[in-house]
Chains A and B, each alone.
Chain A
Amino acid sequence: MRRALTACSTAAAAVLVLPGVAEAHGLVQRQQLPIPEWLFAWAAAAVLVISFFALAVLWPEPRLERERWRPAPAGRAFASPVVQSVCGLIGVLLLVVTLLAGYLGAGTALDNWAPTFLLITFWVGLVFASILFGGLYRAFSPFRAIGRALPSLNRPYPERLGRWPAAAGLLIFTWIELVSGWGETPATLVTAALGYTVLTLAAQCYWGVETWTRRGEAFAVYFDMFARMSVFETRDGVLGLRRPLSGLPQLDRAAGTVAFVCVMIGTVTFDGLSQGQLWKDLSADVVDLLDGLGIGALTASKIAATFGLLLGVGIVAGFYRLGIEGARSVGGGLSFSKLEFGFVHSLIPIAAVYVAAHYLTFLVFEGQAVFYLASDPFGQGWNLFGTVNWGIDYGLFPQKDTWYVQVAVVVIGHVAALMLAHDRALSLYRDTRLAVRSQYWMLGVMVGFTSLALWLLAQAG
């Protein structure tokens, strides 16, 4: 002991835990990739080009346009009125709990059920669930469940409105999620949800539940788009099976559909862009400019982000328009409108993979919060399911593999989009060679979307 004391040899150990002065205690940096990101983009583009030519040679006639739906075993039981009612009740219960949690629960988003449930479990989780299991939202929709119990005027729905109300609703929701900052204030967030509920119920009463669900209810239209990729579909009270993606070509024509799909992709595009340095620098300039005009910095940043959100949608819309104009230029006598709507369903797998690539880790990690919040949704010290002391397990998904999963998902989604576009071109153009030529432009669009997706992911780091 004498030697230890005299030498004070443990001084070195003290350094281990001294408060930080001027040294890093460890920086978590982006996982170094074995090959550069640009090479991934080239490889992804190459996969698309090869797929394109493989389709041209090996896929000479439309296959996905034909419906091949067949009842699933016990399909009638799964879609029975009893099951539908129970699902609807669960949906209503979740809505009520969420609204109450927003007002009664903790004032911080971290401890409140409402923001996690609405912005992660519902908004992101249901995309994955819809792709896998089909029309889950339709079954669990609280608006549809309540609407069916309410009287309806069933007034004729103006066709020119089409899916425009849904597109506007989706844009507003994404603005709330990405720009407003209301997600940090549970009471404000659920007030918006309550407002949407009232509007939806009123619209359902006026135009009818099914009409509004198909056209104006933003979430119903949104999740229905993804559900069309699933192998499951319910028809006339029977759950059935179909080919993967084959629900997409059946998308009915309605005004505003292209806008809706552009909002789907464009808003995620902005979310990815906003996490990168390019947008941060651009936004800082806009904020400085507006701040100089006397607008507060926080308001200025929201104005800049609103502009960015619209820009994201605009870029996607412009990109798609370019592809359609190009396809029209090859001949065939098809109108812009016919082509524009004809190929829009092929963008839905792209929307799906944009969501998957951008939000998968968000769902896997932050989404775990719903388990401990469910045990005490109103912040009353309850432990209803014994999960209140759970945390987030960051080891659930290996972070080093995230980039590879993202790239794989993006490529698969874009190849699926190419297949759908090719299949549709074969049915639109009588001449196979003309159909393939029209798809050169769609190939350009797909390669562009793929590169954009990978660039955004790389930007977000």
Chain B
Amino acid sequence: MHRVLPLLLLALIAAGCGSGSDAAQRDPVQNVPSENGVREGVKAAATPDEAAFPAAGGKTLQQLADTMTAGPSLAVASSVFTTPGQTRMAFGMIAADGTPIYGPTAIYVAPTPGDQAVGPFVAPADVLLTDPRYRSKQAATTQDPFVAVYAAEVEFPARGKYAVLATTKTSDGKLVGATGQVDVSSKKADPIPEVGSKAPKVHTETLASAGGDVTKIDTRDPPSDMHKVDFADVVGKKPVALLFATPQLCQSRVCGPVTDIELQMQSKYGDRMDFIHQEVYNNNQINDGLREPLREFHLPTEPWLFVVNAKGVITARLEGSIGVHQFEEAVKSGL
């Protein structure tokens, strides 16, 4: 026993001098499987260089597209785009065989393919995989091949329909292109609370409001513990990360793991910020409509993340697929 005590003392001292739980969390790219060069692809895709893509230089979107190899499909993973100012566009590049393509990526936009293109807007890839311990059963067992999502901050000149050209530089240096179309609305017409505005003081559901039955307010398996506080009680008093998501009803790797990412962030920043997960559908049934807090935020889709600082001002708002890095940057913006 007298040999064990000094060891325990050492452990205590080490605990006192330790670096906190931050050190336990690693570069999210390390969570990407290394098979078939996927990790390397994501690593390269995480830091795209604008100079690696052709300048728009007065060319039309079509002219730019003609310089690229066709083949992949563009899968847009967010749906609300506004102007003026930057708006986040999340997307994936999918090869003909259904597998995602990872490499340095950027996008160009124009009202129609024949119009002058704007861009390139670089789109860093952001890993969707949390550290293993934070993965829900849904996320841990999904067969979804997506491990990262691209996100670009795009400036649309005006509202209306836009053609989008996304291009990825493959490992052999070729640019492959894919196209899509999005609707851009006026920022003024966007009813969803924006960055810089005061967050609506909505009541979110808590373990207490659910009568102690967490399964009523959390479809994650196992349920998370992010139902301790009501948003209305803490907003304006302490930084808050409020996530609207439904892990069970949207469990593809594109939107499923956001609750897991929030859990990972809570582990890292939980002493400085309250983390709230709000389920999306009444009775966890899609046909029963949206829960009240989503209606009060005017959310037409899910998932959505709002980060609110201690003054109650929204400092980040992210829609759709969100990776670990962007989630963390959003959290930091509210601290």
- Cβ of B241 within 8 Å of any chain A Cβ, yes or no, is no
- Cβ of A83 within 8 Å of any chain B Cβ, yes or no, is no
Given the known A-B contacts A21-B301, A366-B222, are A380 and B249 also in contact in the complex, defined by CB atoms under 8 Å? no
Distance of A22 Cα from B302 Cα, bound (Å):
10
Within 8 A of A (CB), among B135-168: 135, 137-138, 140-141, 146, 163, 165
Distance of A149 Cα from B79 Cα, bound (Å):
68
Distance of A108 Cα from B228 Cα, bound (Å):
12
- Cβ of A10 within 8 Å of any chain B Cβ, yes or no, is yes
Chain A residues positioned under 8 Å from B202 (CB to CB):
none
Structural contact, B213 and A280, CB atoms closer than 8 A: yes
Distance of A283 Cα from B141 Cα, bound (Å):
32
Structural contact, B213 and A297, CB atoms closer than 8 A: no
Q: Chain A, interface size: which category?
A: 35 or more
Chain B residues positioned under 8 Å from A181 (CB to CB):
207
Structural contact, B73 and A380, CB atoms closer than 8 A: no
Structural contact, A19 and B180, CB atoms closer than 8 A: no
- Cβ of B221 within 8 Å of any chain A Cβ, yes or no, is yes
- Cβ of A372 within 8 Å of any chain B Cβ, yes or no, is yes
Residue of B nearest to A393 (CB): B140
Given the known A-B contacts A1-B68, A394-B140, are A20 and B280 also in contact in the complex, defined by CB atoms under 8 Å? yes
- Cβ of B208 within 8 Å of any chain A Cβ, yes or no, is yes
- Cβ of A389 within 8 Å of any chain B Cβ, yes or no, is yes
Within 8 A of B (CB), among A331-362: none
Given the known A-B contacts A11-B180, A11-B181, are A28 and B138 also in contact in the complex, defined by CB atoms under 8 Å? yes
Closest Cβ of chain B to A458, distance in Å, is 17
Residue of A nearest to B69 (CB): A1
- Cβ of A100 within 8 Å of any chain B Cβ, yes or no, is yes
Structural contact, A13 and B248, CB atoms closer than 8 A: no
Structural contact, B79 and A2, CB atoms closer than 8 A: no
Given the known A-B contacts A19-B301, A89-B1, A379-B20, are A4 and B70 also in contact in the complex, defined by CB atoms under 8 Å? yes
Chain B residues positioned under 8 Å from A278 (CB to CB):
none
Chain A residues positioned under 8 Å from B180 (CB to CB):
8, 10-11, 13-14
- Cβ of B65 within 8 Å of any chain A Cβ, yes or no, is yes
Chain A residues positioned under 8 Å from B19 (CB to CB):
380-381
- Cβ of B84 within 8 Å of any chain A Cβ, yes or no, is no
Chain A residues positioned under 8 Å from B229 (CB to CB):
none
Structural contact, B320 and A19, CB atoms closer than 8 A: yes
Given the known A-B contacts A17-B92, A25-B251, A149-B1, are A108 and B18 also in contact in the complex, defined by CB atoms under 8 Å? no
Chain B residues positioned under 8 Å from A10 (CB to CB):
73-75, 178-180
Chain B residues positioned under 8 Å from A444 (CB to CB):
none
- Cβ of B319 within 8 Å of any chain A Cβ, yes or no, is yes
Structural contact, B8 and A96, CB atoms closer than 8 A: yes
Structural contact, B208 and A298, CB atoms closer than 8 A: yes
Give the contact stretch, choosing among A35-43, A231-239, A299-307: A299-307
Given the known A-B contacts A1-B177, A28-B138, are A392 and B15 also in contact in the complex, defined by CB atoms under 8 Å? no
Structural contact, B250 and A20, CB atoms closer than 8 A: yes
Chain A 364-403, CB-CB to B under 8 Å as 1, else 0, gives 0110010010001011111100001111111100000000
Distance of A96 Cα from B18 Cα, bound (Å):
19
Chain B residues positioned under 8 Å from A5 (CB to CB):
61-62, 65, 113, 163, 165, 179
Chain A residues positioned under 8 Å from B22 (CB to CB):
381
Distance of A287 Cα from B211 Cα, bound (Å):
6
- Cβ of A109 within 8 Å of any chain B Cβ, yes or no, is yes
Within 8 A of A (CB), among B9-50: 11-12, 14-15, 18-24, 26, 30
Given the known A-B contacts A108-B270, A372-B133, are A27 and B249 also in contact in the complex, defined by CB atoms under 8 Å? yes
Distance of A383 Cα from B24 Cα, bound (Å):
8
Across the interface, B65 reaches (CB within 8 A) one of A1, A93, A97, A184, namely A1
Given the known A-B contacts A13-B74, A379-B24, A381-B22, are A389 and B179 also in contact in the complex, defined by CB atoms under 8 Å? no
- Cβ of B231 within 8 Å of any chain A Cβ, yes or no, is no
Structural contact, B246 and A20, CB atoms closer than 8 A: yes
Structural contact, A17 and B181, CB atoms closer than 8 A: no
Structural contact, B212 and A298, CB atoms closer than 8 A: yes
- Cβ of B252 within 8 Å of any chain A Cβ, yes or no, is yes
Provide 30 A-B residue pairs closer than 8 Å at the C-beta atoms, listed in order of the A residue.
Answer: A1-B68, A4-B178, A5-B65, A6-B113, A8-B181, A10-B73, A13-B94, A14-B74, A16-B94, A17-B252, A18-B301, A18-B320, A24-B286, A25-B252, A96-B8, A100-B15, A110-B267, A291-B211, A304-B212, A365-B137, A366-B222, A372-B133, A381-B18, A381-B22, A383-B24, A388-B24, A390-B133, A391-B131, A393-B140, A394-B137
9 closest pairs, A vs B, by CB? A391-B132, A381-B23, A301-B212, A380-B18, A13-B73, A298-B208, A19-B301, A287-B211, A20-B250
Q: Contacts A20-B246, A20-B250 known; list 7 others, CB within 8 Å.
A: A1-B65, A8-B179, A296-B208, A372-B133, A378-B18, A391-B140, A394-B141
Binding site for A on B (CB under 8 A): 1, 4, 8, 11-12, 14-15, 18-24, 26, 30, 61-62, 65-66, 68-70, 73-79, 91-92, 94, 113, 131-135, 137-138, 140-141, 146, 163, 165, 177-181, 207-213, 215, 221-222, 225, 246, 248-252, 254-256, 263, 266-267, 270-271, 280, 286, 300-303, 319-321
